[in-house]
Structure 1
Amino acid sequence: MNIGIFVLAFATFVAGTVELIIAGILNMIATDLQVSVGTVGQLVSVFSFVFAFGAPILIALTSKVERRRLLLIAMFTFLGGNILSIVSPNYTTLLIARIILAASCSIVVVVSVTMAAKTVAVKLRGRAIAVIFMGLSASLVLGVPLGTIIGGHLGWRMAFVLVSILSIVAILAIMKFLPNVPPQPSIPLLKQIATLKNKKIASIQLISALELTGHFTVYTYFTPFLKTTMDLSTNMISMVLLIFGIAGIIGGWIGGWASDKFGGAKVILVFLVLFATSLFLLPYATGSMISLLIVVALYGAMVWALSPAVQNYLAKSAPDSADIQLGLNTSFLHLGVALGSGLGGLLVDHYPVTTNTWVAGIIVVLALISAIYSVTNTKEHSMA
């Protein structure tokens, strides 16, 4: 794979950092801006709702723009959103900044994923997509834990200073290493949505929405979960997040490799069972650091192994509309982030934080049911 794939992965890494960094500094923002933890968690929901519904619209509106130029415009807008986050005097301003960040991130991520899928041989598509998602999971390894440490010692605003610096690095890398890429033919939004009438395809997309809903019902509020159940310090929480992220990177690669070798359908079923199991075990794993880290590692590996497997399965199941489905899948992923963060915020404000893990596990079981339906539905498309 050429260096351009890794540049795209880095851009996705930066985008993932700003989307998820809120999870590591949730309590700090809540205290500083004098709002509840659940209210701050809604910043993740707002970001992801804007991403989910804005991505197909913005991509359609910018379909005639040369791809490298589009990435640069999106990254400069993204930088502006981070600067606004740094100087936000109140929750409303920070909310506006999140909307700007979400709109620009939607372009960065969708263009990165679709370009990665187009620039490699079909047999390497799963691994190329996995590299992009490794960029996203790498944001958990470096971005969220580092943001937590920086926030704990220097204040939460400095976490966005870090993201701003990374944004500038990404902009310079795009300028230096990515060639000009002609725009793709525009596909009307209604035509994109119409492809979801196929029940098999819709059920595959639903897997992504449900598994990310389950994930972010827990992950957005993972810091208060660890503080409440184990009374961990900021540095120890950062270490747990680091283990989660390392497992995510390994899982992302395993997901891409396994889906290329065994087919996305089988891999998805196995990984969803393991993912749900890890969520149900999480409350029981807080008795010791060893048991916690084992379950967290399984949790992190499975959630990020699923994304390349689902996208590879989706591309093979809908060869005539693969580009449309990959773009829509990014929206479904972020819809899951939004729903999970929103649901988790409601739960954490009214129930013990351990309730989130049980609800999340049930949601992932629903994703498994959707996967089983997709795998057994052979009428409209051949199996992947």
Structure 2
Amino acid sequence: MNIGIFVLALATFVAGTVELVIAGIINMIAEDLHVSVGAVGQLVSVFSLVFAFGAPVLIALTSKVEKRKLLLIAMLTFLGGNILSIVSPNFTTLLIARIILAASCSIVVVTSVTMAAKTVATELRGRAIGLIFMGLSASLVLGVPLGTIIGQNFGWRMTFVLVAVLSIVSMLGIIKFLPKVPPQPAIPLRKQIATLKSKKIASIQLISVLELTGHFIVYTYFTLFLKTTMDLSTNMISMVLLVFGIAGITGGWIGGWASDKFGGAKTILTFLILFAVSLFLLPYATGSMISLLIVVVLYGAMVWALSPAVQNYLAESAPDSSDIQLGLNTSFLHLGVALGSGFGGLLVDYYSVTINTWVAGIMVVLALISAIYSLTINRRGNSSIQGL
């Protein structure tokens, strides 16, 4: 794997940190800005909605820009969004900062995934995409727990100082290690959307929406869950998030490897079952730290193993429009993040936080049904897909 793939993984690591770190400092922001925890959770929803719907538009508008230059412009805008977050005097300003961050992150992540898929041999594609998603899961290992500790000891604004520093490091890596990449022809939005007329492709994309909805119904409010059910200290919560992130990094690699070896469809079906089981077990695992960590490891590994598997399955199922599908999938992933964070916020405002785990598990079961449906379409159509 060439060093450029690792630079792209670093960029997605930084993007993932700013998106997900809210989960670790949600209570601090709510208290400081005098809003509810559910309201702060909407910062994740707004970020993800802007990402989901803005990514196709922004990628189309910037299609004529040389790719390394585009990444640098996006990272510079990202830095500006972090600075605005640091100085935000109120919730509205922080909300505006999140919109700026989401728009820039959408370009960073979509461009990184597309470049990773195109710069390696076909047989390594799943692992290359998996490495990019390992960058996102690594943000859980380092970004979220470290951001939580920094927020607890120095204030939540210092968490965004950390992200700003990381964005500068990422820009230096892009300049030094990424070659210039010529722009690709623009793909009209109408053509991108038209590819979703295929029931098979639509059902595969729906897997990402549903499983990420389930994940973020729980994860955005995971700090609240751990405080409520186990009365854990901030340091212990950071440790649990660290374990979750380490499992996620491992899962990202496992998902890429398994989809290359066994095919995307089989990998997705297996991992969705294990993911659903972990969510249903989570409320019962709070009796001891050992049982909690066992379930958290399974949960973290499965959720991050699914993304490279789904993207590889898309590339297998739609080879003629793989670029479009990989780009759209990042939007669908973030639509799931937005729906999960928003729905989860409504649940915690009116019900016990343990309800979130049950609703999340149901969402993942729906994702499993969508995966099975995509497989039956393949069999009815008598088409051959790698790994089936």
Match of 1:371 in 2: 371
Aligned partners of 2:209, 2:266: CA distance in 1, in Å? 19
Spell out, residue by residue over 1:260-313, the C-alpha distance to the aligned partner (whole angstroms, 9 max, x if none). Answer: 000010010000000000000000000000000000000000000000000001
TM-score of the superposed pair, with normalisation by structure 2: 0.98
Q: 8 Å contact 1:318–1:381 — kept in the other structure? A: no
Q: CA RMSD in A?
A: 0.6
Q: After TM superposition, what 4+ stretches of structure 1 lie above 4 angstroms from structure 2?
A: none
Query: Distance in 1 between the 2:26 and 2:233 partners?
Result: 14
Aligned to 1:12: 12
**Match in the other structure for 1:274:** 274
Q: Which amino acid aligns with 1:46?
A: V
* 1:353-377 Cα shifts (integer Å, max 9, x gaps): 0000000000000000000001111
CA distance in 1, matches of 2:369, 2:327: 23
1:383 maps to: 385
Alpha-carbon distance in structure 2 between the residues aligned to 1:156 and 1:234: 13
Q: Deviations over 1:222-260 (max 9, x none)?
A: 000000000000000000000000000001100000000
C-alpha displacement of 1:381: 4.8
Write the deviation string for residues 6-57 of structure 1: whole angstroms up to 9, x where unpaired.
0000000000000000000000000000000000000000000000000000
Is there any run of 5+ residues in structure 2 with no aligned partner, and where? none
How far apart in 1 are the matches of 2:183 and 2:224? 44
Matches within 5 A, 1:90-109: 90-109=90-109
Q: Take 1:10 and 1:365, find their aligned partners in 2: how far apart are those partners?
A: 32
Aligned pairs for 1:228-239 within 5 A: 228-239=228-239
- Distance in 1 (CA, whole Å) between partners of 2:382 and 2:68 is 36
The aligned counterpart of 2:54 is: 54
Distance 1:2 1:292 in 2: 38
Percent identity between matched residues is 85
CA distance in 2, matches of 1:278, 1:165: 35
SS at match of 1:35: coil
- Local SS of the residue matching 1:382: coil
Q: What residue identity is the alignment partner of 2:97?
A: A
Q: Provide the C-alpha distance between the structure 1 equivalents of 2:113 and 2:73, rounded to a whole number of angstroms.
A: 17
Matched, 1:294 2:299: no
Superposed, which structure 2 residues align to 1:64-79 within 5 Å?
64-79=64-79
The equivalent residue for 2:339 is: 339
Write the letter of the residue equivalent to 1:171. M
1:198–1:380 CA contact under 8 A, matched in 2: no
Cα distance in 1 for partners of 2:249, 2:105 equals: 20
Q: In structure 2, what is the Cα distance between the partners aligned to 1:57 and 1:15? A: 19
Per-residue deviation, residues 115-145 of structure 1 (Å, max 9, x unmatched): 0000000000000000000000000000000
Distance in 2 (CA, whole Å) between partners of 1:316 and 1:383 is 6
Partner of 2:254: 254
Cα displacement (A) at 1:103: 0.1
How far 1:69 sits from its partner (Å)? 0.2
Q: Residue 261 of structure 1 aligns to which amino acid in structure 2?
A: K
1:27-42 aligned at under 5 Å gives the runs: 27-42=27-42
Q: Using the alignment, how far apart are the partners of 1:253 and 1:194 within structure 2? A: 32
Counterpart CA distance in 2 for 1:358 and 1:380 is 37
> Aligned residue pairs: how many?
384
The AA in structure 2 aligned to 1:123 is E
Amino acid at match of 2:373: Y
How far off its partner does 1:382 sit? Answer: 3.0
Name the CA distance, whole Å, in 1 between partners of 2:238 and 2:257: 29
**Residue 227 (structure 2) aligns with:** 227
Aligned counterparts of 1:152 and 1:381: Cα–Cα separation in 2: 54
Alpha-carbon shift at residue 383 of structure 1 (Å): 2.5
1:22–1:274 CA distance, 2 compared to 1 (3 A)? same
Q: Which residues in structure 2 correspond to 1:179-190 (within 5 Å)?
A: 179-190=179-190
Equivalent residues in 2 for 1:96-245 (5 A)? 96-245=96-245
Preserved CA contact (<8 Å) 1:200 1:381: no
Matched with 1:304 is: 304
Residues 200 and 380, structure 1, Cα contact 8 Å, conserved in 2: no
C-alpha separation in 2, matches of 1:283 and 1:39:
24
| Superposed CA offset, 1:43-78 (max 9, x none) | 000000000000000000000000000000000000
Contact 1:225 1:353 in 2 (8 A): yes
Please tell me the residue identity of whatever aligns with 1:142: L
TM-score by length of 1: 0.99
Judge conservation of contact 1:60–1:187 (CA < 8 Å) in 2: yes
Match of 2:314 in 1: 314
Distance across 2 between alignment mates of 1:328 and 1:61: 15
Q: Point out where structure 1 has 5 or more consecutive residues left out of the alignment.
A: none
